[in-house]
A and B are shown apart, each in its own frame.
Chain A
Amino acid sequence: MKLPDLIATGWLEIRSHKMRSFLSVFAIAIGIATFFYTLSILSQRYRDIDRTAEVSGKGRLDTTVERPLSMDQYNQLLRMLPPQASLSFQTDEMFTSATYKGQILTGFFLQGLLPTWQDSAFVYQVEGRFFNWQDIKNKHRVALIVVYPREKEPRHISSVDSGPAGSVQLQDFIKHINLLNQSITISDQSFTVVGILRAPPVEKDFRAPEDQESMQKIFIPYTTWYDIAPRWWDSFSTRVRIVTGSEDKAARATSVLHSFLRQQFGPDFLPGIRLFRHQLDIYRQGAWHNLKAMIFIGLIAMIAGGIGIMNITMVVIFSRTREIGIRRALGASRLDILLQFLTEAMLLGLCGAAGGMVLGYLAVLHMANNTSQLTFSWWVVAASVLLALGTSFLFALYPAYEASKLRPVEALKYE
């Protein structure tokens, strides 16, 4: 029998036993809904992690050195690195306050950066300008302020509540006043705000959590920061970041950085260098780990659905023994009978897949976080359909095989 005839026969049977078919379809749909939900979320997380990898730059590595590093050391290390590698130093974060036209602004951290900070995980729209190497060389008193968009559910950016009487939080102040090209005073020194860094909305911010600010910040040039840092500050540390441009170069850069730091701070110095690729692997494992339980529940539901299909197929074969005999007498082979019942079960599975995907999609829309960024993915649809078809096929195989084994003469006698 040809496939269209098998489908037509199967569909006719499904339609003529609506309740029985509905129950089988429902059981499969529950399993598929769980899978669809889980795979959609997982697929989205993986896609976000891929975007994080893109945003962060290829072959990135990070370390924190518990010492201040000078620009001479920067140049020395840069010369040792593979060509095209980007090297960035960041200072510690210093909690301080600023003054604008007599108004004390508080609740932010001051951090020193190099222009190469832009080469990794830079997602901002710059209003004004970013730092340049002249700012670094001449220790210019220039500043950049990060501003977040207004959002329905604002991200949590900590600010320290305590401040002198009459002070306002910088975070609140910049919502109303644009400080671009304005003068602010930090540590008794006048700084010009040369740029506003507008952060993207949360759903378009694909930076790794470690790259996102958890606190309101004002950035100043790396060298300027050391100029104004209080002398009593004795625990300077430097965050070193290298973006090599490719995964292969990262290993070489790691050993270069390692030997540079030992050369600078002695053979016992043990820098903890983190390859960002490992960090991404951890994110991926985390995403998978969080959804493992859901996959397991989906699996149980699919088995239940499969048993439902098996049960129904067995009942159907029992009630259609005579029909099997008639079909065999008219020329159906064992394979025809096997295929007929498998097709019927797989049609039920297909209906279950369709129902399950609708349920799963609704679950994703109403239950998952950050669903505004959820995109449709064909592989999830394909995987759901294949899973439903595979389950129906496997569980219907035994009853269908038993049906195909019926001897025509005995099946015909069956009342």
Chain B
Amino acid sequence: MVIHCEHLVKIYQTADAFRALNDVSLDIAPGDFAAVMGPSGCGKSTLLNILGLLDEPTSGVYRLNDISTADMSDRVRSRTRRDHIGFIFQSFNLLPKLSVLQNIALPMRYGNLPRKDILPRAYELLQRVGLADKADRTPQELSGGQCQRVACARALANRPELILADEPTGNLDSKAGEDILSLLRDLNRSGITIVMVTHDDKIAHGAKHIIRMKDGEIV
């Protein structure tokens, strides 16, 4: 299994100790394309953050590629994020001061790839998402759909086995949304496991299977 979760619980220590995840158990096999659906506040993004090692569960077991994440140091978590996970966010999260090419190169800058190989690899990824002519543009000069394609290219930078997409079509019109979905399906076909959070039924049905959540639980 790429992802194996047992009895995950996430409690936010607010005044009323909000339980964002409640006993979530989940397995995602290599090459799967799972869509996580549910209403706002049901814990979809919390689950995705834990799966992406951006956050830690209050209790429960999370194994990534059969390795327990419980005792991982910050350094190992960062390295795992860098080498094994690609993120796609609803609001793209591209750095506005960097060019499109430099944005794609960014994850590689934290890796071990020789410097001379970084930009050619970034350019190759840009070609793959069909934006080779926008390499020197800044994200502000691109449309939402183009920005999300750049984010997809960035997610692929260090050749991850897992892509976590948090509402990747949430800020896009339906045409651009379909393009991104089609891109994700292509990536999935090339062997990358994808977990996508969405509240759009149509987009969710593009995945191989759907996980429905409500009130912090899988239903």
Instruction: Please list the residues of chain A having a beta carbon within 8 angstroms of any beta carbon in chain B.
Output: 1-2, 4-5, 12-13, 16, 322-323, 325-336, 407-409, 412
Given A329-B52, A331-B158, decide whether A2 and B78 contact each other with a Cβ distance below 8 A.
no
B residues near A332, Cβ cutoff 8 Å: 78, 82, 110
CB-contact partner of B74 in A12, A323, A333, under 8 A: A333
> Chain A interface mostly helix, strand, loop or mixed?
helix
Is A334 a contact partner of B97 (Cβ separation < 8 A)?
Answer: no
Chain B 66-97 interface residues, beta-carbon cutoff 8 Å to A:
74-75, 78-79, 81-83, 87, 89, 93, 95, 97
A residues near B95, Cβ cutoff 8 Å: 323, 326
20 A–B contacts, CB within 8 A, in A order: A2-B115, A5-B115, A13-B97, A323-B95, A325-B93, A326-B95, A329-B81, A330-B106, A330-B110, A331-B81, A331-B82, A331-B83, A331-B110, A332-B110, A333-B75, A333-B78, A333-B110, A334-B74, A407-B55, A412-B89
B residues near A331, Cβ cutoff 8 Å: 78-79, 81-83, 107, 110-111, 158
A residues near B149, Cβ cutoff 8 Å: none
Given A4-B115, A12-B97, A412-B93, decide whether A329 and B87 contact each other with a Cβ distance below 8 A.
yes
8 cross-chain pairs, A with B, having the tightest CB-CB distances, nearest first:
A331-B82, A333-B78, A409-B55, A330-B107, A331-B110, A409-B54, A408-B54, A326-B93
Residue B134 interfacial (CB < 8 Å)? no
CB-contact partner of A333 in B79, B87, B107, B109, under 8 A: B79
A325 to B79, CA, bound (A): 15
A332 to B106, CA, bound (A): 10
A351 to B61, CA, bound (A): 50
Residue B44 interfacial (CB < 8 Å)? no
B residues near A325, Cβ cutoff 8 Å: 93
Minimal Cβ-Cβ distance residue in B for A4: B115
A2 to B83, CA, bound (A): 17
B residues near A408, Cβ cutoff 8 Å: 54-55
A53 to chain B, nearest CB (A): 52
Chain B 138-185 interface residues, beta-carbon cutoff 8 Å to A:
154, 158
The total of chain B residues at the interface (CB under 8 A) is: 25
For A1, A336, A407, A412, the residue with the greatest tally of chain B CB atoms inside 10 Å of its CB is A412
A residues near B75, Cβ cutoff 8 Å: 333-335
A residues near B81, Cβ cutoff 8 Å: 328-331
B residues near A335, Cβ cutoff 8 Å: 75
A38 to chain B, nearest CB (A): 39
Beyond A327-B106, A331-B82, 8 extra complex contacts between A and B, CB < 8 Å = A327-B110, A328-B54, A329-B93, A330-B87, A333-B74, A407-B55, A408-B55, A412-B89
A residues near B83, Cβ cutoff 8 Å: 331
A331 to B97, CA, bound (A): 19
B residues near A326, Cβ cutoff 8 Å: 93, 95
A210 to B89, CA, bound (A): 80
B residues near A13, Cβ cutoff 8 Å: 97
A residues near B87, Cβ cutoff 8 Å: 329-330
Given A1-B109, A412-B54, decide whether A334 and B115 contact each other with a Cβ distance below 8 A.
no
B25 to chain A, nearest CB (A): 22
CB-contact partner of B49 in A5, A333, A409, under 8 A: A409
A residues near B107, Cβ cutoff 8 Å: 330-331
A345 to chain B, nearest CB (A): 18
A residues near B52, Cβ cutoff 8 Å: 329
Minimal Cβ-Cβ distance residue in B for A323: B95
B14 to chain A, nearest CB (A): 14
Is B106 a contact partner of A16 (Cβ separation < 8 A)?
Answer: no
B167 to chain A, nearest CB (A): 13
For B83, B93, B158, the residue with the greatest tally of chain A CB atoms inside 10 Å of its CB is B93
B residues near A329, Cβ cutoff 8 Å: 52, 54, 81, 87, 93
Given A323-B95, A326-B95, A409-B49, decide whether A334 and B78 contact each other with a Cβ distance below 8 A.
yes
B22 to chain A, nearest CB (A): 19
A11 to chain B, nearest CB (A): 11
A332 to B95, CA, bound (A): 14
A14 to chain B, nearest CB (A): 11
Minimal Cβ-Cβ distance residue in B for A404: B74
A327 to B49, CA, bound (A): 15
A397 to B93, CA, bound (A): 27
Minimal Cβ-Cβ distance residue in B for A332: B110
B121 to chain A, nearest CB (A): 15
A residues near B49, Cβ cutoff 8 Å: 409
A327 to B94, CA, bound (A): 10
A325 to B89, CA, bound (A): 12
A407 to chain B, nearest CB (A): 8
Minimal Cβ-Cβ distance residue in B for A408: B54
Is B110 a contact partner of A1 (Cβ separation < 8 A)?
Answer: yes
A335 to B98, CA, bound (A): 21
CB-contact partner of A16 in B82, B97, B111, under 8 A: B97
Is A336 a contact partner of B54 (Cβ separation < 8 A)?
Answer: no
For B82, B83, B110, B111, the residue with the greatest tally of chain A CB atoms inside 10 Å of its CB is B110
A176 to B52, CA, bound (A): 94
For B83, B98, B106, B115, the residue with the greatest tally of chain A CB atoms inside 10 Å of its CB is B106
A1 to B98, CA, bound (A): 16
A297 to B55, CA, bound (A): 48
A328 to B74, CA, bound (A): 10
B122 to chain A, nearest CB (A): 13
Is A2 a contact partner of B109 (Cβ separation < 8 A)?
Answer: yes
